[in-house]
Chain A
């Protein structure tokens, strides 16, 4: 619902909002320019003194105005000819033209009415309303995605257009909301939708009948400071019934032109004060700096519009069409999809195709459409669910949990729940987990135990598919092909082998940097930009499914390095570990922004075991600034698989690595990296207190052991691994 409230106003109003905000941003410059160029009155200058100076210079003066910027303009009439000038208050002399700026006038008319009169004003008011709706709905979406309002500025890990969209929006939204609200108020005022209570006092019926009082002798003008002045109107020459009219920031009054006596005064009404404040907040007139800030924020809108459309298009593209989708009432297998960005639909499509090929009748639909009564023929249900933000329901699963909870009897057909998520986020697959738990509580039979897919891994999915096939008594091979980016040929330059003695051959493979096209260099695509911790996708011969390896090198190192351990019956790892220098493999770069040491001087605690050392070694190699790094590394035996052993010792000498602690699992006293971590608990706690960031890379079992050990170490500090994770100070890359 909120997403729809964000998407449709955004798409419909994008072009209008771009015009609105670009013109608004341009207009925001004028008050600041006027503020800088306008000659300012000296402090304490009274209106009486100013008016006397101007009257001396221009005896026919009829009106003196002060704009919110402090600029003073005088209008006079001499010999039947009108004149006007910007006045230097120190002399009363004109110093500049009082004609309105034609560029500003043009922009103002574009900004408020598109040169289309009242129709244009209404269109622009609707634009402002759309912007307000977008600001509010967008804020809710950002908060939901980050996992709460307090995590408003939490780091983001989405593709560039989505990230840019949110990065800009969460800074600009305050200004955009303010500008759109003030715009709506001003529109309402223009169209007389607000009560108007004028504060002008009743024009005096009785005056002294005399003329020619000296301005300098009028008490009220002597007491009124120029800083408070809005306008001073002089009486018509020769009309004894006319008066001086004084407007200040407090109200309006009349003064007798013969005696200088005050003839009436009215304060500004509350409505007028509100409108004036709103006018100032919108235009920046009288608040030039705020105006500039708002203008700058408005400049974000064109980028937001473009990236927003890109995000929408990407979401549409990634949601595949499901050919031959069976009707809900006729299908035996019901696939329910809870997807946010659309990638989970791709998995559902793969599953649909494989099950259909195995002769099943399959229906795919959103989880939000779940209704057991619609699935009369259902033999089994499969839920594929992503998670949104901090364990919330993704877009197409809204309301599912409530509906499940309200269900009197759950379907007799058994259920399998598969969660999709990213382990580097808190509450991994939290929503799918809750769905599985609720189904269990409701007594729904399980076809398969709850399972998860990390970062859209096709391997995880294929493994789960085999389990599903077993449960169904069919041979199910799920070859999910996420859209594989264009690959490059990588040529092996060198390899270093380890672990052969332990039947665990492991190799550090170094590939040459592939040739880059000019366009790639220009846009930073592909191999033109990567860092340690990013992923190298390798597409093995004879398979369409890429495998991902953590990169142990940086673009600036001039080579592409990964650590590969040969898996029993692993297709890709077998091919890679058999490569000889000069051989090639097909690969591409996938960014992994969630697993980066980040900038700054805060100490790093790197924890890895086995091939998990890869990206960690890359971080240390790049640590030319000598940031404190403490590495915990677990191996089997120092003689056999001490990956990067010599490099680590060199890096320590060079100051890139502060300290190294190793754990050896095949020794007289076997120990694992989590044991070493506990041994060094005091030091680890000290580092964390000092703001250290923890990065873990390796197998799942090791990562779980590390989390437990950290929980014990952190307890005395009143911290938990979850809390650090939420702050982004505890990140994992596990497999």
Chain B
């Protein structure tokens, strides 16, 4: 289990009152066979007003491609400090990305939304590939992506 509490607490707006209360959450993203190279994925959270709250994970290591994750890029102005220490490899077609994070309890049932932006070389960019409200009830329910993500689930 990767503990990202500290990172998130330091770098993002997820430093909310009551953060001491946190729980491990597993995010599972399964890609469909879209017939291209490894996909870049940005997982991040917006608040009830739609404002960027913080990043959870960046799959893909070359920052020169981040602008293709256009919503995330717009929200963060491409600031790589947002994903310091929470960056991994890009995810191939048909593969699954599974990450486990400590997320603050206050992120759930409070209007926060989890977004995934996706981009694949020589294929269309797909900002807002996945949009799913963070609720305790929604945990464990698969959500389908628009173009590249076969399904996405968060489990607590």
CB proximity of A110 to chain B, nearest CB, Å: 12
Q: Which positions 57-80 of chain A face chain B at CB distance < 8 Å? A: 62-63, 65, 75, 77, 80
- Flag if B122 contacts A105 (CB, 8 Å): yes
- Flag if A105 contacts B67 (CB, 8 Å): no
- Flag if A190 contacts B64 (CB, 8 Å): yes
Q: Is B123 an interface residue (CB 8 A)?
A: yes
Contact residue among A75, A102, A200, A233 (Cβ-Cβ distance under 8 Å from B73): A200
- Flag if B35 contacts A100 (CB, 8 Å): yes
- Flag if A82 contacts B147 (CB, 8 Å): yes
- Flag if A190 contacts B62 (CB, 8 Å): yes
**Chain B 137-153 near chain A by CB (<8 Å), digits 1 or 0:** 00000000011000000
A196 to B79, CA, bound (A): 12
- Flag if B62 contacts A198 (CB, 8 Å): no
In the bound complex, residues from chain A placing their C-beta under 8 Å from that of B62 are 190, 192
User: Which residue in chain A gives the minimum CB-CB distance to B90?
Assistant: A117
**Chain A 129-172 near chain B by CB (<8 Å), digits 1 or 0:** 00000000000000000000000000000000000000000000
Contact residue among A65, A118, A198 (Cβ-Cβ distance under 8 Å from B78): A198
**Chain A 83-103 near chain B by CB (<8 Å), digits 1 or 0:** 010000000000000011010
In the bound complex, residues from chain A placing their C-beta under 8 Å from that of B147 are 82
- Flag if B63 contacts A192 (CB, 8 Å): yes
**Chain A 455-477 near chain B by CB (<8 Å), digits 1 or 0:** 00000000000000000000000
**Chain A 309-323 near chain B by CB (<8 Å), digits 1 or 0:** 000000000000000
A99 to B122, CA, bound (A): 9
A189 to B36, CA, bound (A): 22
A99 to B64, CA, bound (A): 23
Chain B interface size range: 20 to 34
- Flag if B146 contacts A105 (CB, 8 Å): no
In the bound complex, residues from chain B placing their C-beta under 8 Å from that of A99 are 35
- Flag if A75 contacts B35 (CB, 8 Å): no
With A63-B125, A190-B62 as contacts: A203 and B74 at CB distance below 8 Å? yes
User: Which residue in chain B gives the minimum CB-CB distance to A65?
Assistant: B124
Q: Is B46 an interface residue (CB 8 A)?
A: no
Q: Is A109 an interface residue (CB 8 A)?
A: yes
Q: Which positions 59-101 of chain B face chain A at CB distance < 8 Å? A: 61-64, 67, 70, 73-74, 77-78, 89
- Flag if A102 contacts B124 (CB, 8 Å): no
With A82-B147, A105-B36, A203-B74 as contacts: A100 and B63 at CB distance below 8 Å? no
In the bound complex, residues from chain B placing their C-beta under 8 Å from that of A109 are 37
In the bound complex, residues from chain A placing their C-beta under 8 Å from that of B55 are none
In the bound complex, residues from chain A placing their C-beta under 8 Å from that of B146 are 77, 80, 82
- Flag if B35 contacts A84 (CB, 8 Å): no
Q: Is A236 an interface residue (CB 8 A)?
A: yes
User: Which residue in chain B gives the minimum CB-CB distance to A82?
Assistant: B147
- Flag if B122 contacts A100 (CB, 8 Å): yes
In the bound complex, residues from chain A placing their C-beta under 8 Å from that of B124 are 62-63, 65, 75, 82, 84
CB proximity of A515 to chain B, nearest CB, Å: 61
CB proximity of B83 to chain A, nearest CB, Å: 14
CB proximity of A277 to chain B, nearest CB, Å: 16
User: Which residue in chain A gives the minimum CB-CB distance to B146?
Assistant: A82
A75 to B125, CA, bound (A): 10
- Flag if A196 contacts B74 (CB, 8 Å): no
In the bound complex, residues from chain A placing their C-beta under 8 Å from that of B37 are 105, 109
CB proximity of B121 to chain A, nearest CB, Å: 8
CB proximity of B148 to chain A, nearest CB, Å: 9
In the bound complex, residues from chain B placing their C-beta under 8 Å from that of A105 are 36-37, 122
CB proximity of B141 to chain A, nearest CB, Å: 18
User: Which residue in chain B gives the minimum CB-CB distance to A74?
Assistant: B124
Contact residue among A63, A192, A241, A245 (Cβ-Cβ distance under 8 Å from B64): A192
With A100-B35, A200-B73 as contacts: A236 and B128 at CB distance below 8 Å? yes
- Flag if B67 contacts A198 (CB, 8 Å): yes
Q: Which positions 187-238 of chain A face chain B at CB distance < 8 Å? A: 189-190, 192, 196, 198, 200, 202-203, 233, 236
In the bound complex, residues from chain A placing their C-beta under 8 Å from that of B70 are 233, 245
CB proximity of B120 to chain A, nearest CB, Å: 9
CB proximity of B137 to chain A, nearest CB, Å: 23
Q: Which positions 380-411 of chain A face chain B at CB distance < 8 Å? A: none
- Flag if A196 contacts B122 (CB, 8 Å): no
CB proximity of A582 to chain B, nearest CB, Å: 76
A630 to B74, CA, bound (A): 82
A82 to B89, CA, bound (A): 26
CB proximity of B80 to chain A, nearest CB, Å: 9
A668 to B113, CA, bound (A): 117
A364 to B64, CA, bound (A): 59
**Chain B 3-44 near chain A by CB (<8 Å), digits 1 or 0:** 000000000000000000000000000000001110000000
A732 to B62, CA, bound (A): 63
User: Which residue in chain A gives the minimum CB-CB distance to B66?
Assistant: A198
A593 to B37, CA, bound (A): 53
In the bound complex, residues from chain B placing their C-beta under 8 Å from that of A65 are 124
In the bound complex, residues from chain B placing their C-beta under 8 Å from that of A80 are 146
CB proximity of B113 to chain A, nearest CB, Å: 13
In the bound complex, residues from chain B placing their C-beta under 8 Å from that of A102 are 35
CB proximity of B37 to chain A, nearest CB, Å: 7
CB proximity of B127 to chain A, nearest CB, Å: 9
In the bound complex, residues from chain A placing their C-beta under 8 Å from that of B74 are 203
User: Which residue in chain A gives the minimum CB-CB distance to B62?
Assistant: A190
CB proximity of B67 to chain A, nearest CB, Å: 6
A80 to B122, CA, bound (A): 22
In the bound complex, residues from chain A placing their C-beta under 8 Å from that of B89 are 117
**Chain A 222-262 near chain B by CB (<8 Å), digits 1 or 0:** 00000000000100100001000100000000000000000
With A82-B147, A192-B62 as contacts: A200 and B67 at CB distance below 8 Å? yes
**Chain A 174-198 near chain B by CB (<8 Å), digits 1 or 0:** 0000000000000001101000101
A668 to B146, CA, bound (A): 107
In the bound complex, residues from chain B placing their C-beta under 8 Å from that of A82 are 124, 146-147
- Flag if A100 contacts B64 (CB, 8 Å): no
**Chain A 467-509 near chain B by CB (<8 Å), digits 1 or 0:** 0000000000000000000000000000000000000000000
**Chain A 12-47 near chain B by CB (<8 Å), digits 1 or 0:** 000000000000000000000000000000000000
A198 to B73, CA, bound (A): 11
A63 to B126, CA, bound (A): 10
A102 to B37, CA, bound (A): 10
A100 to B74, CA, bound (A): 27
In the bound complex, residues from chain A placing their C-beta under 8 Å from that of B125 are 63
- Flag if A189 contacts B64 (CB, 8 Å): yes
A109 to B121, CA, bound (A): 11
A62 to B128, CA, bound (A): 12
A426 to B78, CA, bound (A): 64
A531 to B54, CA, bound (A): 81
User: Which residue in chain B gives the minimum CB-CB distance to A109?
Assistant: B37
User: Which residue in chain A gives the minimum CB-CB distance to B65?
Assistant: A190
In the bound complex, residues from chain B placing their C-beta under 8 Å from that of A100 are 35-36, 122-123
User: Which residue in chain B gives the minimum CB-CB distance to A102?
Assistant: B35
CB proximity of A233 to chain B, nearest CB, Å: 8
Q: Which residues of A approach B to under 8 Å, CB–CB?
A: 62-63, 65, 75, 77, 80, 82, 84, 99-100, 102, 105, 109, 117-118, 189-190, 192, 196, 198, 200, 202-203, 233, 236, 241, 245
Known: A63-B125, A105-B122. 4 other contacts (CB 8 A): A62-B124, A77-B146, A80-B146, A102-B35
**Listed A/B pairs (17) with beta-carbon separation below 8 Å:** A63-B125, A80-B146, A82-B124, A82-B146, A84-B124, A100-B122, A109-B37, A189-B64, A192-B63, A192-B64, A198-B67, A200-B73, A200-B78, A202-B77, A203-B74, A233-B70, A245-B70
Across the A-B interface, give the 10 residue pairs with the lowest CB-CB distance, nearest first: A75-B124, A100-B122, A203-B74, A82-B147, A100-B36, A190-B62, A192-B63, A198-B78, A99-B35, A63-B124
